[in-house]
Structure 1
Amino acid sequence: MKKAKYRVLGVMSGTSLDGIDLVYVNFDYKDQWSYKILKAETSPYPINWQETLAAAINYSDESLQELNLKYTHYLAGVISQFIEKYNITDLDAVCSHGHTIKHEPQNQYTLQIGNLPQLAYLTGQKVICDFRMQDVKLRGQGAPLVPIGDRLLFSEYKYCLNLGGFANISTEEKGKRIAYDICAVNTVLNYYAKKLGKEFDEGGKLAAAGELNEKLLKQLNQLSFYKQKPPKSLGIEWVTAEVFPILEKYEEDIPTILHTYSVHIAQQIVDALDNSEDSSVLLTGGGAFNNFIIKELKDRSKCQLSIPSKELIDFKEALIFGLLGVLKIRDEVNTLSSVTGAEKDHSAGVIFEL
């Protein structure tokens, strides 16, 4: 008989490289799933790890293997410190996404480091991880994976929109969950904010101070990815190959890049919405704190934007990876073929027992 209550640790490291999100959460099943976040925090990456993870896409296979082991040890330390700090003794599992280095679903390949068996040994916990590889082998995109959580935990919203390293959206269409990546967000904005000596563009103030470059905006909006039909997903490889070459021509005026790219983000997101006053949008991810982007979205769409508590904004993805782990424990579907394009719905993830 399946349990009705689970306490797990959801662990997520995003492409924006701000740190490792950890959420200690209680999931309860009574006809439907509910959750309560018990503890949550972000462990910021030291500068050396930020630089290493950003450069790793160009590593050799041998160097990636070494990095994978080193990162697994680092991640285990972060997880163990969190468990010790909050005196957590009742975990059913640690449910960890790892950190994406390469994402090439067209080649049936995706790599998230930190998903080695050593993670269970080093933390002394049952670990569920490596959630993307199985979907890619089933000819899916391996992303996005969060929409199963949107369906099970946040069904009162027409759209769930996350503004992280990339913008992604999920919604129900004709009884199926549809979700996909829209465009790059913080992977681009943080890159240019750092050129001005900032970790990120706090509140979108740098962007707001810039001007709109119509020529640049038109070039960005013509990127071929936007014409593709879902399922579709993005990785840093796409940003490097398609977006940065366009922006590099305008680097003498970074505030204008930030302004124009933020308007571009808003336009692409609004194109994904139905522009109905009856449609509610749950908005999470670091971009929810970017007042300039939020203003641009509100100016362009009639949809009702709902910005939740800071805790949910910051930790929704880690929360849902905790749920993915619980569903894996129960041998229930946690990855939807309607979202990823895989050959079938399935229960993804690898379980490492002690």
Structure 2
Amino acid sequence: MPPLVDHHCHGVLRSDPDDAVFESFLTESDAPAAPGTSFFDSQLGFAVRRWCPPLLGLEPHCPPEVYLARRRELGAREANRLLLSASGITTFLVDTGLPGDLTSPAELAELSGGTAREIVRLELLAEGIAAEAPDPDEFLAALADAIGAAARTAAGFKSVAGYRHGLDLAPEPPGPAELRAATADWLAAGAGRLASPVLLRHLLWSAAATGLPLQFHTGFGDPDLRLHQCDPLLLTDFIRAVRPTGCRLVLLHGYPYHRGAGYLAQVYPHVYADMGLSLSYTGARAEAVLAEFLELSPFGKLLFSTDAYGLAELYVVGARLFQDALDRLLNGWTASGSWSARDAERVAGLVSAGNAERLY
């Protein structure tokens, strides 16, 4: 299989997690596992036990307690190095907007032996500026400067508007009076979590104006979102409105709305679909889900990612599940005569790395 470009991911923990913390990264839930079980009892948990133990010198499917003991014996840095360097990922585009004692893009590159670039999270950028610029006009000027500065070094921008409000935003950019009033209200209220739909729209249009790719969280996530408000089809009017700017839009994750994301990527030239997170969480069913991504998504507009966060294991699982699922699908389609072997090889290269290299 070709090398991988992970176009949407996060840092990993610098220190050894205890068992409960480790398990917390195997779920999007904020509650304990069902009584008598653990979060290893899931498609993602089983995938970790299938793919990761051999990289640390253990048998596949070993008990969780054996795996975690071995991980602690090696220490966080060595375990991270072994796992990341074996993932097959050569380039990491890292969303740095999540909290915790996580590795930077440079540290991730060092541990893996690859390269890394930053994806700037818009909402976090604005919240940081607000702490230093409490006046509305000062804030808006500083925000414009910061987005411009970020565009000179970052690979792209990311929005979590789906978490903060939902994707059913008015499609047009806010007018000056509307924007200033919303900014003043937000700053006067203490400028905490940015959830104003007016400011969220301003962030999206400001990022679009830079010409860099703009990633959107769509589909499932933790309980902080309302899933029905994260259907990528809700972005249709914005997709149409922003098209003249030339900004490329990347619809992350998508599941269970991934077929809708594939449709949007097919009918709009500036829209791309991503499979990250969807395959990791569906585990042994990843082949079926990947096949659904490949129903309507143009082969030149579907991107591999892991959305790995906190655990280096999630990089391994995301990469292995993708490669295994793609290999099975392509072998089946070539064996049936539906695809030629040459076309299968070319599409594998596009989805694994080529599309991301061209887009970013």
| Range class of TM-score, shorter chain | 0.3 to 0.5
Higher fraction of helix = 2
Query: Greater CA radius of gyration, 1 or 2?
Result: 2
**Normalized against structure 1, the TM-score is what?**
0.32
- TM-score normalised to the size of structure 2? 0.32
The answer to which structure has the higher strand fraction is 1
